[in-house]
Amino acid sequence: MSSLRIGKAKAFSLGLSDIASDKSISHRCAIFSLLSDKTSVVRNYLEAEDTLCTLNIVKSLGAILKSEDGILYITPPSKIIEPPLILDCGNSGTAMRLLMGFLSSVEGFFVLHGDKYLASRPMKRVAKPLRDIGAKIDGRKDGDLSPICIRGSKLKPFDYKSPISSAQVKSALILSALNSQNDAPSFFSEPQISRDHTERMLKGMGVDITYENGKIVIPPTKKPLQPLDITVPADPSSAFFFAVAAAIVPDSKVVLKNVLLNKTRVEAYKILQKMGTKIEFIEKDDKYESIGDIVVEYAPLCAVEVSENISWLIDELPALSIAFACAKGTSRVKNAKELRVKESDRISAVVKNLQLCGIEAKEADDGYDVTGGVLKEAVFNSFGDHRIAMSFAIASLVCGGTIEDTECISTSFPNFTDTLKKIGKVDTILGMRLKGFKKSAE
């Protein structure tokens, strides 16, 4: 188990062009390449643990991978191979859920599993609607928990109204429709449109996805699709840690370069802006997605209530909580129950860690309250969750702190520590946990 010790930072001003590539888009590049019969070309694929797991799975399913001058070429097999070994999704809910949709509509037998954190995350949200259209899926707790076993088959078209806004559920169902090659269209709706990379990328591959009366329409589509030719932008969720750093360290400024500006992904920046931070979006490109620079400059923060568009900022809430802790007044998060089933229970993880550094924070069933104050030096627990580890590393820039169990950072942002070193003093403490000395939090 390694830890990070971080010292208080002084005012900084810098441009960052080495933010990790977008995780959601990278997963999709790997999986969607299997829908074509030609080689997909992917620049800036995220080389982090989560997305490398997905790439390995795509390879086990028969794709040939080549990497040259930083460009990834994915050549799909003419027919998906039935892999002799189980498919390891690591820590990634996105990989497991999207692959459930994809594989349940492909001939063969497949087993998906992941790490101990993924093993406790709910899969029924995908298994149930897929079973309703004929999928043969099973797993622990009647198909809710991994390992997940799939016997692929042709599935029926659907008109599914999802009770939750989830891009993972949406993408799993869209993938099943594309593989099943039905003559009738399928329809999907959700309470609020979730991140829409699947729709955008598949449109670029030739699928005529449309929106009709609040529903996504997936028309009968003949495979193979066009291959992808894409440059993955920087991940706005990863960049957000440094936006918060500039927002809480007085007189600081950061320019986050070539970041994905899709409106379903930058809502947290809008909240930070509402709290008082100066933020400017400079759009530079728009092919599959809008891409540009984000300029973030310190200004005193005031409290805010966050209860709308939750699915557009769900991944950034832990980092946003650090801004709440530095703001004047009490901030409140509501309607965010989904936080409880992310890589950790993020409501409990955020509240516990904020309390450790002397900040008043209170849990509710679907959110939490944070009263801004003076943060004190503390030893934080990552709970094995990359976004909790990075959020409290940023908090430590104002109070000094140690974050325990930080290996998880490499699931999404392997060069986070190097980037953080441009702002503050960071020491990595390598440690080994001895048998019998397990932490009680586990």
Binding site for ligand S3P (CB under 6 A): 24, 27, 94, 166-168, 171, 194-195, 311, 314-315
Q: Which amino acid is at 253?
A: K
| Residue 396: both structure tokens together | 């430590």
44 and 21 in contact (C-beta within 8 Å)? yes
Nearer to ligand S3P, 288 or 298 (CB): 288
Tell me how far, at minimum, the Cβ of 34 lies from ligand S3P, in Å. Answer: 17
Tell me how far, at minimum, the Cβ of 295 lies from ligand S3P, in Å. Answer: 25
Nearer to ligand S3P, 172 or 247 (CB): 172
51 and 27 in contact (C-beta within 8 Å)? yes
47 and 285 in contact (C-beta within 8 Å)? no
Nearer to ligand S3P, 167 or 408 (CB): 167
Q: How many CB atoms lie within 10 A of CB 249?
A: 22
Residue 214 per-residue DSSP state: T
The CA angle 432-437-438, to the nearest 5 degrees, is 90
Tell me how far, at minimum, the Cβ of 346 lies from ligand S3P, in Å. Answer: 10
Nearer to ligand S3P, 315 or 345 (CB): 315
Residue given tokens 């390694």 in the structure block: 2
**What region, left, alpha or beta, does residue 54 occupy, with left being phi > 0 and alpha being psi -120 to 50 degrees?**
alpha
Tell me how far, at minimum, the Cβ of 302 lies from ligand S3P, in Å. Answer: 27
Residue given tokens 């430590």 in the structure block: 396
Tell me how far, at minimum, the Cβ of 92 lies from ligand S3P, in Å. Answer: 9
Nearer to ligand S3P, 298 or 383 (CB): 383
The two most distant CA atoms of the chain are separated, in Å, by 62
| Residue nearest ligand S3P, CB atom distance | 24
φ/ψ of 403, rounded to 5, equals: -110, 125
Could you list the active site residues? 315
CA–CA separation, 292 and 290 (whole Å): 7
Cis ω before 224 (30° cut-off from 0): yes
| Residue 433: both structure tokens together | 């946990």
417 and 409 in contact (C-beta within 8 Å)? yes
Tell me how far, at minimum, the Cβ of 252 lies from ligand S3P, in Å. Answer: 27
Nearer to ligand S3P, 27 or 200 (CB): 27
